[in-house]
Amino acid sequence: MKVPALIMAGGKGRRIESKIEKPLMPFLGIPLIDRVVEAAKSAQNVSEIYVITSDNTPKTEKKCLKNGLKVLRTKGKGYHNDLKQAIIEGELNCPVLTIPADLPALTGRFIDKIIKLFEKRGKNAFAVFVPIEKRKELELSVSSKDEFEGVMYAVSGVNIINGKKILSEGKIDTAALITDEVEVLFNINTQKDLDIAKKFLRKI
């Protein structure tokens, strides 16, 4: 199975408190967005790549267009609204992979693993969660949480959803992977997250 990847790069990034758009922030010398794009490009099971931007990230959009990437501009009304808009306007009536633009350790190998797990589980959605205690152990922020099977987890932002179900009302049947693998452990929400991730990833 091959699926299109949507790199979500339209958020305001207020918590990072930087004058630079968050996707363009350098991480060990390479912009965050470039690291995620490279991971998606190296995945064997990604069919095409779209970068999802908004009025919040015009410089990110300009850079991506210059690099020949497909861009879908949304209204910047929040992650879920932007995702829905991108799927509808891109006419992506198929399973789509979503990736936040702030996962500096993401790899193509990990992306392929998630796509294969989605196909194996046979649900209309697949989510990747991180144990909250693991992020707290490393003094990382926990900005977004969700419940799965009665337990709260930190949201990684890596998901697959069947685009045909995006307008459905009610809960979409979802499978999940609970993991503290480095590929999704470090998503950058604050300056402290950035500093901790740099220090950790320099060692590996």
pLDDT, tens only, 149-176: 999 999 999 999 999 888 776 778 999 9
Considering the chain, what percentage of its residues have pLDDT values greater than 70? 99
What average pLDDT does this structure show over 58-73?
A: 96
Class level of CATH domain 3-201 = alpha beta
Residue 21 corresponds to which tokens in the numbers above?
């758009």
Pick from 7-16, 44-53, 94-103, 131-140: least confident: 7-16
Given this model, what pLDDT does residue 18 score? Answer: 79
What SS3 class is residue 103? coil
What average pLDDT does this structure show over 80-94?
A: 92
Q: Is 204 a residue whose pLDDT tops 70?
A: no
Residue 189 corresponds to which tokens in the numbers above?
């929400």
What is the residue whose two structure tokens read 């497909």?
70
Q: Is 190 a residue whose pLDDT tops 70?
A: yes
Query: What's the first-to-final CA gap in the chain, in angstroms?
Result: 31
Q: Is 97 a residue whose pLDDT tops 70?
A: yes
What SS3 class is residue 78? coil
Confidence band for 19, pLDDT divided at 50, 70 and 90: confident
Q: Is 49 a residue whose pLDDT tops 70?
A: yes
Q: Is the dihedral of CA 62, 187, 85, 45 positive or negative?
A: positive
* Calpha distance 173→135 (Å, rounded): 27
* Calpha distance 14→171 (Å, rounded): 29
Closest CA to 2 of 37, 48, 41: 48
